[in-house]
Chains A and B, each alone.
Chain A
Amino acid sequence: MMYTKEELFQAISTVIDPEVGFNLVEMGLIYDASSDDEGNVKVVMTLSTKACPLHQMILQWVKEAVEKLPNIKEVDIEVVWEPEWNITMADDNVKKALGA
């Protein structure tokens, strides 16, 4: 394994949702991330809504954020809708800031 899940999450945490102002990891939108020895990365994530107009752009930002790590060969992002995202998946600081 080239990168741990935590290292990949750390890289993705640089991506901010411009509407709510929090990064995707603390929003709880990144479900899983893994890599193999050859530098192939797989990210499993969701979005806060299927109708998100930034859908493709956010995926591109996640891809670029991971590619900033050294020796990354390919980044595969899978968007899933199950389990459906809800606010309980977000970090406490997000919930507190939103008043949830």
Chain B
Amino acid sequence: MFKISQDFAPPFKLIAPFFIIGSIFYFLSSLYLFSFDAEVLSFSSAKILAFVHLFLLGCVMMIIFGAMAQLVPVVLEVGHFAVELFYAIWPLLLIGTILMVCGFLYSPALLPFGGTIVLISMMIFASEIFLTISKVKKLTVVMSSILISNTFLFFGVIFGLLMALSYAGTISINISALLSAHIGSVLGGYIVITIMGLSVVLIPMFTLSHSFSLKPLKIAITLMSTAVILLILSSFFTIDFLAYVAYILAIISMLTYLYLIYVIYKTRPRKENDIYAISLMYAYISMIVSLSMGALYFILHKEEILLASMWLFFFGFLAFLITGHMYKIIPFLVWFERFSPLVGKQKVPMLVDMVPPKSSQAQFVFCAVGVILVTVAILMKNNTFLDAGASFLFIGTLAFVRNIFYMINFK
């Protein structure tokens, strides 16, 4: 009998803070949009840097770390090395994120402190994952993706700390040279490879898809890993050619991954378009548009196109992928803890009953419209569209926070 060890699931009280804080930072990020002037948006502005760290650290990384606490035993088929460490990860990441955002906005002197705290938080996370992986006897492609992504996280955070120290004037290094190494390691190396690995476990699980080849996943991860390594090398040795090759490989990697998702989508037996399915559709369409804009940038070299591309990648792809999965993961965790002991003894709800239907749809519609309006605002440098988009996102993300609490408190 082939037995999978699934009884290492961490208690929900350990994971819940990650999701609550992540959703609040999603809301704060949308609120932050009101402070931007669409006519003078630039990657080099401290306001953009603060916004990116507010969203990526406070929302994306926070929720990914929480989800990983739950998903690592499922994917690796072994228990955590020391799951209690997650009690330390979220407070450190929270404090570090706040200090970094304040550092970018008000006082660069705060950046090394924020950066160090974020570094400690992520080192604890990466070490815990490495030690958990060390218990695995044979690595599958999905397990390998977790190992690779956490290795990139390890280096990406060190690059980030060096940049923070330099930004604050503590040490003297070329920040712009390290920038692409930092972005490539964390965004491409950690976030994207983690998403690639986990989505081939989660999406088939929820859509009941079977019998698809994992070869495209192997290709996508190999290409993305190569792209990140080339980007790091181009950063250190200032070889622009390597960077261009890296961008092309990264785009091919993402397209290969998209092909796999398309195959899973086409072969899914479960065809209902619930909030999970439509959120994922929006996420992947955003990713296609984002990649197209990214490619267009290399032809036209207009910064607003690259800004719109990154915006769609963050708030279109990452945000909708995360919110969609929250409508599956949180009901499961709450159900597992609160209702599974009652199975056979009394009537228990189905997981779908634990998702607020109207509020989740409102969240989807308002966020979806908001993302499109902000994209137009960035491309046209139009503040009216920006304020309109921010208003839609304000309502949508507020609904998301409400939905998180609804699902967590479901009785």
CB A57 to nearest CB in B, in angstroms, measures 6
B-contact bits for A8-24, CB 8 A (1 contact / 0 none): 00000010101111000
Q: Whose C-beta in chain A lies nearest to the C-beta of B270?
A: A98
Within 8 A of B (CB), among A14-65: 14, 16, 18-21, 48-57, 61, 64-65
In the complex, whether A69 has a CB less than 8 A from a CB of chain B is no
Within 8 A of A (CB), among B11-58: none
The segment out of B200-208, B258-266, B381-389 that lies at the interface is B200-208
List chain B residues, Cβ under 8 A from A56. Answer: 6-7
In the complex, whether B362 has a CB less than 8 A from a CB of chain A is no
| Contact in complex: B270, A99 (CB < 8 Å) | yes
Within 8 A of A (CB), among B342-366: 343-344, 348-352
| Contact in complex: A87, B208 (CB < 8 Å) | yes
Q: Which bucket holds chain A's interface residue count?
A: 20 to 34
Q: Quick one: given A49-B205, A53-B74, A79-B2, are A21 and B269 in contact (CB under 8 Å)? A: no
Task: State the CA gap A24–B6 with chains docked (Å).
Answer: 19
List chain B residues, Cβ under 8 A from A84. Answer: 210-211
In the complex, whether B4 has a CB less than 8 A from a CB of chain A is yes
List chain A residues, Cβ under 8 A from B344. Answer: 14, 61, 64-65
List chain A residues, Cβ under 8 A from B211. Answer: 84, 86
29 contacts between A and B (CB under 8 A): A18-B348, A18-B349, A18-B351, A19-B332, A19-B350, A21-B350, A48-B205, A49-B205, A49-B208, A50-B4, A51-B4, A52-B6, A52-B205, A53-B74, A56-B7, A57-B343, A61-B343, A61-B344, A64-B344, A79-B2, A79-B3, A80-B1, A86-B210, A86-B269, A87-B269, A98-B208, A98-B270, A99-B270, A100-B270
In the complex, whether A78 has a CB less than 8 A from a CB of chain B is yes
List chain A residues, Cβ under 8 A from B74. Answer: 51, 53
B interface size (C-beta, 8 A):
33
Task: State the CA gap A53–B205 with chains docked (Å).
Answer: 10
A-contact bits for B269-281, CB 8 A (1 contact / 0 none): 1111000000000
| Contact in complex: A98, B6 (CB < 8 Å) | no
Task: State the CA gap A50–B339 with chains docked (Å).
Answer: 23
List chain A residues, Cβ under 8 A from B70. Answer: 53
| Contact in complex: A100, B269 (CB < 8 Å) | yes
CB A10 to nearest CB in B, in angstroms, measures 15
**Apart from the given pairs A51-B205, A54-B336, A78-B1, 12 other A-B contacts in the complex at a CB distance below 8 Å:** A18-B339, A19-B332, A19-B351, A48-B205, A51-B201, A57-B340, A86-B211, A86-B269, A87-B269, A98-B271, A99-B269, A99-B271
Q: Quick one: given A19-B351, A99-B271, A100-B270, are A55 and B210 in contact (CB under 8 Å)? A: no
List chain B residues, Cβ under 8 A from A81. Answer: 2
Contact among B208, B336, B340 for A48, CB-based, below 8 A? B208
Task: State the CA gap A52–B4 with chains docked (Å).
Answer: 9
Q: Whose C-beta in chain A lies nearest to the C-beta of B210?
A: A86
Could you say which of A51, A52, A55 has the most chain B C-beta atoms within 10 Å of its C-beta? Answer: A51
Task: State the CA gap A18–B269 with chains docked (Å).
Answer: 17
List 5 A-B pairs, minimum CB-CB distance, nearest first: A99-B271, A87-B269, A100-B269, A55-B6, A98-B270
In the complex, whether B124 has a CB less than 8 A from a CB of chain A is no
Task: State the CA gap A20–B206 with chains docked (Å).
Answer: 9
| Contact in complex: B350, A18 (CB < 8 Å) | yes
In the complex, whether A73 has a CB less than 8 A from a CB of chain B is no
| Contact in complex: A51, B272 (CB < 8 Å) | no
In the complex, whether A95 has a CB less than 8 A from a CB of chain B is yes
List chain A residues, Cβ under 8 A from B269. Answer: 86-87, 95, 98-100
CB A95 to nearest CB in B, in angstroms, measures 7
List chain B residues, Cβ under 8 A from A78. Answer: 1
CB A3 to nearest CB in B, in angstroms, measures 19
Task: State the CA gap A88–B367 with chains docked (Å).
Answer: 37
Q: Whose C-beta in chain B lies nearest to the C-beta of A59?
A: B3
In the complex, whether B379 has a CB less than 8 A from a CB of chain A is no
Task: State the CA gap A87–B350 with chains docked (Å).
Answer: 20
